[in-house]
């Protein structure tokens, strides 16, 4: 055994690995852990029972409230790049990304976004997340 930890407590989602670090939603809060020693690098943002994907060096997070955020996969600091209210209402579904299109859904509807135009995402603002 290399190390052991009670964190992150993942619920309804999986963690992703990038460049020696693990990113996951620990009780709904985005957390970065050092894969080598298990040390928590940072913990920030509130996403509920959200889901995340690794896209290049970015974390694409579909929050429980239907918002989608892009966050840099950077162990030094949490850095939100962009945010979009993708779907209204609660969602626990995994997003899907294919051929530059993002698919999201909840129990009532589905939506597809073409991610090639940057204007789909609003500039990130400082939030309490």
Q: Is the pLDDT of residue 49 over 80?
A: yes
Encoding tokens for residue 53?
Answer: 């994907």
Chain segment 85-100, per-residue pLDDT in tens: 999 999 999 999 998 8
pLDDT top residue among 87 and 128: 87
May I ask the CATH class of domain 16-123? mainly beta
Provide the pLDDT confidence category of residue 10 given band limits of 50, 70 and 90: confident
Kindly state the helix (H) or strand (E) to which residue 125 belongs, with its residue range.
none
Q: Is the pLDDT of residue 127 over 80?
A: no
- Give the Cα separation of 69 and 86 in Å (integer): 10
């Amino acid at each position: 055994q290399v190390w052991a930890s009670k964190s992150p407590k993942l619920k309804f989602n999986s963690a992703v690995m990038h460049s020696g670090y693990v990113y996951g939603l620990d009780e709904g809060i985005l957390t970065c852990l050092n894969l080598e020693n298990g040390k928590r690098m940072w913990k920030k943002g509130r996403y509920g029972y959200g889901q995340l994907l690794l896209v290049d060096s970015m974390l694409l997070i579909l929050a429980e409230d239907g918002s989608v955020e892009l966050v840099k996969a950077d162990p030094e600091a949490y850095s939100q790049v962009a945010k979009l209210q993708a779907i209204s209402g609660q969602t626990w579904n995994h997003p899907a990304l294919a051929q530059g299109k993002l698919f999201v859904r909840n129990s009532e509807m589905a939506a597809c976004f073409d991610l090639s135009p940057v204007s789909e995402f609003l500039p990130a603002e400082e939030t309490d997340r």
